[in-house]
Amino acid sequence: MRFIPIAAAGAAGVLGLAACAYNEDLGRSQFLLVNDAALAQSAQQAWAQTLATSKVSNDRAAQARVQRVAARLVEAAGLGDRSWEYVVFEDPQANAFVLPGGKIGVNTGMLSVVENDDQLAAVIGHELAHSVANHAGERYSQTAATQLALGIGQSALGGRVGAETAKQISAFGGVGAQLGVLLPFSRRHELEADRLGVDFMARAGYRPAEAVKLWRNMQAASTGGRPPQLLSTHPSEATRIAELERYIAGMPARPR
Query: Could you list the residues that contact Zn ion (CB under 5 A)?
Result: 190, 193
Would you say 147 or 186 has its CB closer to Zn ion?
186
Smallest gap from residue 229 Cβ to Zn ion (A): 11
The catalytically annotated residue of 75, 127, 164, 237 is 127
Is 127 one of the annotated active-site residues of the chain? yes
Would you say 72 or 234 has its CB closer to Zn ion?
234
Contact 185, 135 (CB under 8 A): yes
Contacts of 208 (CB under 8 A, 6+ apart): 198, 201, 202, 248, 251
CA 70/CA 104 separation, integer angstroms: 9
Could you tell me whether strands 19-23 and 28-32 are parallel, antiparallel, or unpaired per DSSP bridges?
antiparallel
Would you say 14 or 196 has its CB closer to Zn ion?
196
Smallest gap from residue 193 Cβ to Zn ion (A): 5
Would you say 137 or 162 has its CB closer to Zn ion?
137
DSSP 105: E
Smallest gap from residue 185 Cβ to Zn ion (A): 5
Smallest gap from residue 133 Cβ to Zn ion (A): 10
Contacts of 182 (CB under 8 A, 6+ apart): 46
Cα torsion 88, 114, 229, 138: sign: positive
Where in the sequence numbering do the catalytic residues fall?
A: 127
